[in-house]
Structure 1
Amino acid sequence: MGGESVLSTIFNKASLYAGVVLTVVMGTAMRGDWLLVLVHFWKSREDPLTKHAEEITANSTWLEYFRLQNVGWYILASISFSIVSYYGLAGWLQWHYYIRRRDSAAEWKCQPTKFLTPENERHEILMGSFNLFLGSLVGGSLAAYIMNGGRTQMYYHLDDHSYWYLVFSTVLLFLMQDAYAFYAHKSSHYPLIYKHIHKHHHRYHSPTAFSATAMHPAEFLWLQTGLILPIFFLPVYSGSFIMCILYAYYYGMIDHSGIKMDAVWPWQPPSQFHDDHHKYFHVNFGFNLRIWDWMHDTLRKEDRVYSEEIFGGRGLQKKQVQ
């Protein structure tokens, strides 16, 4: 019995750490940005004194004009890796919890008595797959643009700026990305936008990791844009950018996993925070920080009533619905 207990503990620990790695990989793959990791390592090895971009001339093709030479290969590589990662790794996470441990859902699931219907499971995979393709187009194109000398404000060598600036710009980037995600998300809960766009994502009342990118394509693109946009006006170290998007993607997957997990970082809400957003709809709009919801008084309160028909983020007093 003792040996079996030790083996079981080792297996569970290994599964947990593997899940973290797989979730990060799947998160970057699902949005097509894994190529940016390779771009970071490639560009950081370039000699800043000898590198130069090819000049644009009247004879340049439109791909050369927009710094997109060989973009097809970048997109193909992005799509290929994304497909393998999405179905293989997401399937592994689904098996480990939703199949292997389904009978013990009370131990690990945020909503232990609720599971998606087979129809919604198929829908989230199909919708997520389509957005996977869109993410690969964006990620592959951005990688091609940067590799061909396209201008961004990213720098690739740590000695280009001071270490004080490195810390400052990294924190600022994190705040900018999270603030954008909050306000973009909150705006999608205005009645008109919600009913025509964001409602697609909220059909998953008890979300799984597949739900993270299962949304209206327009919403997927405007959220993707918010993560990428800062590199065009904020001088930031490429490693910091990679770290911030990996962080956002990892917790994006965790928050939609339906699995009860407490965060290591004091500022990061537990997975229950966003799961409650899916359960109660118009509340808890934030992702990696609670401060935005605190500022707008949209944190869920246990003494208030929430539903899909009660907009505004503050719910109603119980006596108002009796």
Structure 2
Amino acid sequence: MLTLDNLQGAILHDITKYLLAAGLLSLMLWLLRKTMQRRRLQAHPVTGKDYRREISWSLLTATLFGCISLLCIAWFGEQGWNQLYWNLSDGSWGYTAFCLALMIVGHDAYFYWSHRLLHQRRLMRFAHRVHHQSHTPTPWAAYAFHPLEALTQILYPVVFAMLLPMHPLVIWLWSLHMIVRNVIGHAGYELMPRWMVRSGWFDWLTTSTHHDLHHQYGRHNFGLYFTWWDRWMGTEHPDYAARVASNLGLPAPSSNAITESNTGTQ
């Protein structure tokens, strides 16, 4: 049954996840600031005004996420409009892991295409420009969305729960993965271990450089977790691989010509 206490708890839960994820990463970067300086992605300084703007918008987004997730997912469940089950014994752990993997892969596709839609001129001016005010993003920018963009993103788990039988644990684990990957993407420093990049086995995972280039130029790198869609659709920044290597102090890939083709942000 939906109650005011449940609503307050849902809002507090999403705000806490955001504050912990962004706060812990920010603390780690501050403690390691001398070591991480060589991995800094932009020289442009971040001001107190930038931090206040990012945190204010992000707290609003976290509040909306908490409200909508409870009102829609829980209430839809009471009405029998989604396929959530509350007893883990009703599904195996293997099936739960499958649902989580499918939800993450599906969200990457959803995010890519909804992100490209938000870059259409009218939606950019009305909503998505709020996020792109962070030209030099920080972990606190992870949820810095206009309410329309926030509603677009929270729509995904609502619809997913209507399409596939699963335990709410899947949604919680997905949301945890989402906020962690989100703050990493906005870290402002390249966090990918050098051995992962050097091996070549993990180039399907987005790096901090990947999303930072999107904030710098705005016309490439629309993916969230994986590089697949940007490569398939030809929207990966042409210098992406070379930039990652440079930010980690590695030799530039021989197949990647370093030619800056975009100078505008929108």
Length-normalised TM-score, structure 2 = 0.76
Kindly tell me: are residues 101 and 119 of structure 1, through their superposed partners in 2, closer, same or farther at Cα, counting changes over 3 Å? same
Among 187, 205, 217, the residue aligned to 1:280: 217
Match of 2:51? 121
Between the aligned partners of 1:108 and 1:246, the Cα distance in structure 2 is 25
Matches within 5 A, 1:56-205: 69-70=2-3, 72-83=4-15, 86=18, 90-98=22-30, 100-102=31-33, 106-111=37-42, 113-142=43-72, 144-145=74-75, 150-157=80-87, 160-161=90-91, 166=96, 168-205=98-135
Cα RMSD after superposing both structures: 3.0
Letter in 2 for 1:193: L
Larger Rg computed on CA atoms: 1
Alignment: residue pair count: 240
Between the aligned partners of 1:133 and 1:241, the Cα distance in structure 2 is 17
Identity of aligned residues (%): 25
Question: Given the alignment of the two structures, is residue 219 of structure 1 paired with residue 145 of structure 2, yes or no?
Answer: no
Contact 1:282–1:307 at 8 Å: present in 2 too?
Answer: no
CA shift, 1:90, in A, is 3.8
Structure 1 gap segments, 5+ residues each:
1-67, 311-322
Between the aligned partners of 2:128 and 2:192, the Cα distance in structure 1 is 27
Q: What whole-Å deviation, never above 9, does each CA across 1:173-206 have from its counterpart, x for those lacking one?
A: 2222211111001111112211221111111011
Kindly tell me: are residues 306 and 106 of structure 1, through their superposed partners in 2, closer, same or farther at Cα, counting changes over 3 Å? same
CA shift, 1:128, in A, is 1.5
Question: Given the alignment of the two structures, is residue 271 of structure 1 paired with residue 227 of structure 2, yes or no?
Answer: no
Match of 2:255? none
Kindly tell me: are residues 202 and 257 of structure 1, through their superposed partners in 2, closer, same or farther at Cα, counting changes over 3 Å? same
Kindly tell me: are residues 180 and 106 of structure 1, through their superposed partners in 2, closer, same or farther at Cα, counting changes over 3 Å? same
SS of 2:142's equivalent in the other structure is helix
Match of 2:247? none
Length-normalised TM-score, structure 1 = 0.64
Contact 1:74–1:141 at 8 Å: present in 2 too?
Answer: no
Between the aligned partners of 1:168 and 1:122, the Cα distance in structure 2 is 39
Letter in 2 for 1:106: Q
Contact 2:46–2:136 at 8 Å: present in 1 too?
Answer: yes
Letter in 1 for 2:129: K
CA shift, 1:123, in A, is 1.2
CA shift, 1:151, in A, is 4.2
Question: Given the alignment of the two structures, is residue 289 of structure 1 paired with residue 245 of structure 2, yes or no?
Answer: no
Among 232, 236, 254, the residue aligned to 1:299: 236
Between the aligned partners of 1:296 and 1:84, the Cα distance in structure 2 is 36
SS of 1:155's equivalent in the other structure is coil
